[in-house]
Amino acid sequence: MSDIIPVRFAGTGSYLPEEVLGNDYFEKILDTSDEWIATRTGIRERRRASKDENTSILSANAGRAAIEDAGLTPEDIDVIILATATPDHPFPSTAAFVQSHLGCVNAAAFDVGAACSGFLHACWIAAGQLQAGMATNVLVIGAETLSRFLDYKERGVCILMGDGAGAVVMTKAEREGQGILHATLGCDGTKAKHIWIPAGGAALPSSETTVAERMHYMQMKGRDVFKFAVVKMTSLIDEAMEKTGLSPDDLKMVIPHQSNLRIIEAARERLGLPAEKIAVNIEKYGNTSAASVPITFDEARRAGKLASGDKIMLLAIGAGLTWGSMVFEL
């Protein structure tokens, strides 16, 4: 087994907007059905941010809960890392607004863009900072307001996504054996246009034409991403088991990115795990991109399903295409 990175998750939090959009909402506006959405994706409903909410607000709500859970104050946080693909503005970073909302006056703050696997990328950076002694308490957030970037005429995409935020406070391990046992990240940039928003950036600034052609909305080659995700999940799981020397039975829980129940099921089958060992909430929230892993982690912890000493695996694949996995002892 490779060396443990001695860090811990000292607190977790999450925030979901109040408005619930059931599959019946899409039945009214699109040629789709509850039956199609539920059987092809596992999704029954998702949340949508109110007009007064945006990514920094969702982030601050989740972040506040995580700081409280860790028994800290906003002043104790020295870095905020926010993983998001749906920033409030092109710049400054959304993390800067979060720093102000939370009153984390001593914190550096920046965003990480790795879409659905962004939270794992952000935890990886935080772990490096903590291990190097460059930080003491890092607030890591995954948050999205995807509803602002969805084409509600595109039935293959808009039915999938939801809004929400999850957060953790990472700090140094407090006992031997606690920490990250394995972490891997990756990217295949040749597939950068598999999931993307074509317009609104430096390559193609917004114009009347881009708006008329709906290029400011998220586009996805769903079937290609699906196939890629199933194969990549399998290789991430195999690699994590090999590198840690653990067997799936040693894991208390696997927390995968909630992109499609069929992808999650493929991972569960690969591991040969019983249903209760793989965390699933996609039926309630849909795919919340960078927010899905930390929301699911927080729910499992608060439900009393996880305890200190448990070994947990996080897994995610997303736009880029990027991916990540992490095995840690809580």
Q: Which of residues 23-42 bind ligand UT7 (CB under 6 A)?
A: 32, 36-37, 40-41
Which x/- pattern over 43-82 shows residues binding ligand UT7 (rule: CB under 6 A)?
----------------------------------------
* Helix, strand counts (H, E) of the chain: 11, 13
Question: How many residues belong to the site for ligand UT7 (CB under 6 A)?
Answer: 21
Q: How far, in Å, CA of 106 to CA of 279, rounded?
A: 35
Q: Which of 16, 170, 162, 191 is nearest to 86 (CA)?
A: 162
261 neighbors 132 (Cβ within 8 angstroms)? no
CA distance 200 to 262: 32
**Applying CB under 6 A, does 87 fall inside the site for ligand UT7?**
no
Is 116 labeled as catalytic in the residue annotation? yes
Determine how many CB atoms are found less than 10 A away from the CB of residue 252. Answer: 16
Question: Is residue 229 a contact point for ligand UT7 (CB under 6 A)?
Answer: yes
User: Contact between 149 and ligand UT7 (CB under 6 A)?
Assistant: no
Amino acid identity, position 114: A
Tell me whether residue 85 or residue 306 sits nearer to ligand UT7 (CB atom): 85
Q: Which residues pair with 12 in a beta bridge?
A: 168
Smallest distance, ligand UT7 to C-beta of residue 142, A: 12
23 among known catalytic residues = no
Tell me the CA end-to-end span of the chain in Å, nearest whole number.
17
Residue 39's CB is within 10 A of a number of other CB atoms, namely 11
186 scored as a contact of ligand UT7 (CB under 6 A): no
Question: Shortest Cβ distance from residue 160 to ligand UT7 (Å)?
Answer: 6
CB 110 within 8 A of CB 95: yes
Q: Where are the beta strands (DSSP E) in 158-205?
A: 164-172, 179-187, 195-196
Q: What is the largest CA-CA distance in the chain?
A: 59
* Least distance from ligand UT7 to the Cβ atom of residue 297, Å: 17
Residues of this chain, 190-219, that bind ligand UT7 according to CB under 6 A: 195
Task: Supply 10's token pair.
Answer: 């000292």
Contact map string, positions 98 to 137, toward ligand UT7, x by CB under 6 A: ------------------x---------------------
Task: For residue 80, give the 3-state DSSP assignment.
Answer: strand
| 231-260 positions binding ligand UT7, by CB under 6 A | 259-260
Distance CA 152, CA 319 (A): 20
Can you tell me the distance from the alpha carbon of 317 to that of 253, in angstroms, rounded to the nearest whole number? 18
| Contact call for residue 222 and ligand UT7 (CB under 6 A) | yes
d(CA 131, CA 324): 19
Phi/psi for 39 (5° steps) reads: -75, -35
Least CB distance to ligand UT7 at residue 101 (A):
26
Which range, of 80-88, 153-161, 174-182, 245-253, touches ligand UT7 by CB under 6 A? 153-161
* Residue number of the CB atom closest to ligand UT7: 222
User: Does residue 61 carry a catalytic annotation?
Assistant: no
Which of 104, 116, 123, 158 is catalytic? The answer is 116
Select from 6, 103, 113, 156 the one that contacts ligand UT7 (CB under 6 A): 156
Closest approach, Cβ 32 to ligand UT7, in A, equals 3
What is the total residue count of the chain?
A: 330
Shorter beta-carbon distance to ligand UT7: residue 170 or 278: 278
For ligand UT7, which residue of 44, 101, 148, 155 counts as binding (CB under 6 A)? 155
DSSP letter at 4? P
Residues of this chain that interact with ligand UT7 (CB under 6 A) are 32, 36-37, 40-41, 116, 155-156, 159, 195, 222-223, 225-226, 229, 259-260, 263, 287, 317-318
Residues with active-site annotation = 116, 257, 287
